[in-house]
Amino acid sequence: MSEIEDSEFVAELEAAFVEEFGADAETATAAAEKAAAFREAYDEALSVTAVTDRLADGSYDSFEHRFDYTVGDLAAGVEDCTDSRQFRIAGFGDLAADPEQGA
């Protein structure tokens, strides 16, 4: 994946998150970067359309919850991805174990 392809992917997602799903600019940027990181780590063929189509099917009102659900849904389709929290807006949360512990 080239840097240009990554930046185009992020830019297209940012725009879609704001225009189609009502995310604020800061949240849209964070979500697009997390989607790009997931794409790089687990699914190089992941398209903007695949992300936005799944996001449109979300059953949550807030963009953040819809995005996090979408990431979990995408991760469920990847055998090697056993923990998608690093790619979610909510991240690991206050009660989660430290992912760096024991590393």
Within 10 A of 30 (CB to CB), how many other CB atoms are there? 18
Q: In this structure, which amino acid lies at residue 31?
A: A
Stated pTM of the model: 0.83
Compute the CA torsion angle 13, 27, 21, 84 (nearest 10 deg): 70
Distance CA 38, CA 75 (A): 8
Q: What are the residue boundaries of the structural domains of the chain, listed by start?
A: 3-87
Q: What is the pLDDT along the chain (103 residues), one digit of tens a residue?
A: 555 577 899 999 999 999 999 999 999 999 999 999 999 999 999 999 999 999 998 678 899 999 999 999 999 999 888 889 999 998 876 655 555 655 5
Distance CA 31, CA 37 (A): 10
